Amino acid sequence: MTTPVQLTDNAAKRVAAILSGEPASVAFRIGVEGGGCSGFQYSFAIDGAKPDDTVIERGGARVVIDAVSLGYLGGASIDFIDDLMGQSFRIDNPNATASCGCGTSFSV
């Protein structure tokens, strides 16, 4: 079974590092909220899993996505980039029809 959202090795390593000092009961939450310059924006938080969440585990990383956000993120790939411009999670979302220049908001 394939996961509805793919987590790259770099993203899994970064999430695992973020969660390393946290209790085992929490996870890295990725969500979609209204806002941003293109209509929707990605959100990231450390949170406990809820009953309707999709849980993705890879390389010591535990990511949760709520059911509504998963509708916008289905088929996406999440990467972690560390380059001269800085560090950030980058989401390659096939559902997005447009995005802002910084890549933190999108429209469908």
Domains of the chain: 6-101 (2.60.300.12)
Using pLDDT thresholds of 50, 70 and 90, give the confidence band for residue 107.
low
Max CA distance (Å), the chain: 39
In sequence order, what are the residues at sequence separation of 6 or more whose Cβ sits closer than 8 angstroms to the Cβ of residue 37?
100, 105
Q: Does 98 have pLDDT greater than 50?
A: yes
pLDDT above 70 (res 70): yes
**Distance of alpha carbon 83 from alpha carbon 65, whole angstroms:** 26
Mind listing the pLDDT tens digit for each residue in 25-59? 999 999 998 876 667 888 999 999 999 999 999 99
Question: Is residue 23 pLDDT above 90, yes or no?
Answer: yes
Q: What percentage of the chain carries pLDDT values higher than 70?
A: 84
